[in-house]
């Protein structure tokens, strides 16, 4: 019975991922004065791709080419599952922050493997860029987690300094060093998701779609699903490490009724304002955000919106600029954050 539950939960995370990728597209569209896709568009895309022919380049390394998307998808699924078990269905031990860091590299590694196996000049340049990007953002990401570990070391129980479940009870972002680390980690997640300004490896107008150039059909659908899952897992991870996690309990009844009334009022308001155009889409966006807030997922939505805004207000960086940004600027900021956090820990000053 328990196993059956987990088999059902995994498609649930997938659905959440597809909804998140719809939010990304919809909010981007609204920022850019476009109408944007309907709610089910990401699902339609995946379903359509599933039915398409899979073309394998003649010179490709077939095994690696075919398994790479599945490896990436499996890694992200495992990460989401782990986060799910820490927040919703809590168990004694599900892995610590180190495991999560490993699982978070897996999609990028799979992308590198798959694209380098595809024997395409565009993909090979994309591979090189992805490698450099991974090397660029992994250092600040790990440093940011070091800050978190230092910040929370005093508060969590002995032997639990690396446990995600224990860290998720603390809010290290409410301090100078924690905020620095949070912002750096947010940009690293931006790069991990392959969003502008760090969509260097895909770079549509330079490399076609770079790393994904030779993928088609169900394999491309697997990449898309992986990306949708990452949209859930990575912001979730940030919420847990920096913002104190979320307690996925419904708010008490006396709070629930005003929320429902407010949602109904928003419903009526949008109906009056947006006579007939875009009405259903805006409504579903609002309902989803309302639901998130109600379920204590507001922090997740906040991070997602931050990611989308960064995506839509920046041009793509060059790979050398991106590496310099991560190593020099983020690196210096994080070293400063580590020093601050250590001082704060030593003298017991919480806001440092």
Partner 1 sequence: MKKTMQKPILAVGPFHPLQEEMEFFQLTVDGEIVTDIDARISYNHRGIEKISETLQFDQVPFLVSRVCGICSASHPLAYVQAVEDIVGVQPPERALYVRTIINELERVHSHMLWVGLAGHFIGYDTVFMWAWKYREPVLDLLEEITGNRNNYGNVKVGGCREDIPNELKPKILKELDGVEKKTEMLTKAVLDDPILHARLKGVGVLSKEDAIAYAATGPTVRGSGIAIDVRQDDPYAAYADLDWNVISQPEGDVFAKTVVRLLEVLESLKMAKEAVTKLPDGPIATEVKEIPPGEGCGRAEAPRGETFHYVRSDGGNRPIRHKIRAPSYVNVPSFKASCIGQHIADVTITLAAVDPCYSCTERLAVVDGHNNIIHDYETLLQMSREKTARIKKEIGAPEFKMEDI
Contact 81, 13 (CB under 8 A): yes
Taking CB under 8 A as the criterion, the residue among 138, 199, 214, 281 binding partner 1 is 199
Q: How far is the CB of 225 from partner 1 (least distance, A)?
A: 23
Taking CB under 8 A as the criterion, the residue among 24, 200, 220, 292 binding partner 1 is 200
Q: Which is nearer to partner 1, 156 or 193 (CB)?
A: 193
> By C-alpha distance, which of 98, 102, 74 is closest to 10?
74
Helix (H, G, I), strand (E, B) or coil at 310: helix
Q: Is 320 in the site for partner 1 (CB under 8 A)?
A: yes
Helix (H, G, I), strand (E, B) or coil at 221: helix
Q: Which is nearer to partner 1, 97 or 317 (CB)?
A: 317
Radius of gyration of the chain (CA): 21
Task: Please count the CA atoms within 13 angstroms of the CA of 8 that sit on its side-chain side.
Answer: 5
Q: Is 37 in the site for partner 1 (CB under 8 A)?
A: no
Q: Which is nearer to partner 1, 90 or 314 (CB)?
A: 314
Report the distance separating Cα 285 and Cα 299, nearest Å: 16
Q: Is 32 in the site for partner 1 (CB under 8 A)?
A: yes
- Find residue 96's DSSP bridge partners: 163
Q: How far is the CB of 21 from partner 1 (least distance, A)?
A: 16
Q: Is 143 in the site for partner 1 (CB under 8 A)?
A: no
# residues near partner 1 by CB under 8 A? 31
Considering only the stretches 124-132, 174-182, 260-268, 284-292, report the one whose residues sit in contact with partner 1 under the rule CB under 8 A.
124-132
H runs (alpha helix) in 153-278: 164-167, 176-192, 204-207, 217-242, 253-273
DSSP string, 168-202: TT--TTSSHHHHHHHHHHHHHHHHHTT-TTS-TTT
Q: How far is the CB of 41 from partner 1 (least distance, A)?
A: 17
Q: Is 121 in the site for partner 1 (CB under 8 A)?
A: yes
Q: How many helices (H) and strands (E) does the chain have?
A: 14, 0
Considering only the stretches 59-67, 206-214, 253-261, 300-308, report the one whose residues sit in contact with partner 1 under the rule CB under 8 A.
206-214
Q: Is 333 in the site for partner 1 (CB under 8 A)?
A: no
Q: How far is the CB of 110 from partner 1 (least distance, A)?
A: 23
Considering only the stretches 238-246, 254-262, 276-284, 318-326, report the one whose residues sit in contact with partner 1 under the rule CB under 8 A.
318-326
> By C-alpha distance, which of 208, 232, 215, 214 is closest to 87?
232
> By C-alpha distance, which of 190, 65, 197 is closest to 123?
65
Tell me which H or E stretch contains 120: none
Considering only the stretches 179-187, 250-258, 275-283, 310-318, report the one whose residues sit in contact with partner 1 under the rule CB under 8 A.
310-318
Q: How far is the CB of 34 from partner 1 (least distance, A)?
A: 6
Q: Is 211 in the site for partner 1 (CB under 8 A)?
A: no
> By C-alpha distance, which of 238, 242, 256 is closest to 307?
238
Binding residues for partner 1, per CB under 8 A? 28, 31-34, 121-122, 124-125, 128-129, 196-197, 199-200, 203-208, 312-321
């Amino acid at each position: 019975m328990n196993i059956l539950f987990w088999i059902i939960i995994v498609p649930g995370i997938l659905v959440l991922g597809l909804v998140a990728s719809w939010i990304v597209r919809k909010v981007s569209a609204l920022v850019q004065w476009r109408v944007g896709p309907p709610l089910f568009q990401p699902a339609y895309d995946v379903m359509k791709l599933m039915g398409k022919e899979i073309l394998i380049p003649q010179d490709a390394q077939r095994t690696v080419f075919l398994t790479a998307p599945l490896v990436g998808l499996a890694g992200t699924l495992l990460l989401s599952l782990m986060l799910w078990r820490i927040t919703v269905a809590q168990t004694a031990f599900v892995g610590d922050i180190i495991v999560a860091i490993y699982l978070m590299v897996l999609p990028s590694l799979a992308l590198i493997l798959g694209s380098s196996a595809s024997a395409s000049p565009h993909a090979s340049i994309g591979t090189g860029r992805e490698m450099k990007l991974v090397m660029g953002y992994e250092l600040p990401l790990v440093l940011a987690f070091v800050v978190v570990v230092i910040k929370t070391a005093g508060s969590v129980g002995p032997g639990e300094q690396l446990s995600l479940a224990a860290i998720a009870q603390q809010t290290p972002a409410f301090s100078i060093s924690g905020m620095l680390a949070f912002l750096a980690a947010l940009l690293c997640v931006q790069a991990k998701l392959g969003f502008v300004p760090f969509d260097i490896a895909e770079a549509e107008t330079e490399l076609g779609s770079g790393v994904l150039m030779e993928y088609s059909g169900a394999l491309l659908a697997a990449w898309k699903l992986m990306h949708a899952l990452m949209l859930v897992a990575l912001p979730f991870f940030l919420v847990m490490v920096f913002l104190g996690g979320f307690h996925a309990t419904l708010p008490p009844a006396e709070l629930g009724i005003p929320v429902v009334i407010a949602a109904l009022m928003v419903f009526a308001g949008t109906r009056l304002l947006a006579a007939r155009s875009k009405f259903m889409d805006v409504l579903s966006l609002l309902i989803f955000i309302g639901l998130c807030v109600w379920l204590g997922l507001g922090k997740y939505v906040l991070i997602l919106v931050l990611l989308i805004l960064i995506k839509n207000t920046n041009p793509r960086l060059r790979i050398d600029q991106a590496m310099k940004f991560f190593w020099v600027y983020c690196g210096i900021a994080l070293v400063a954050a580590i020093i601050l956090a250590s001082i704060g820990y030593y003298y017991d000053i919480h806001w440092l």
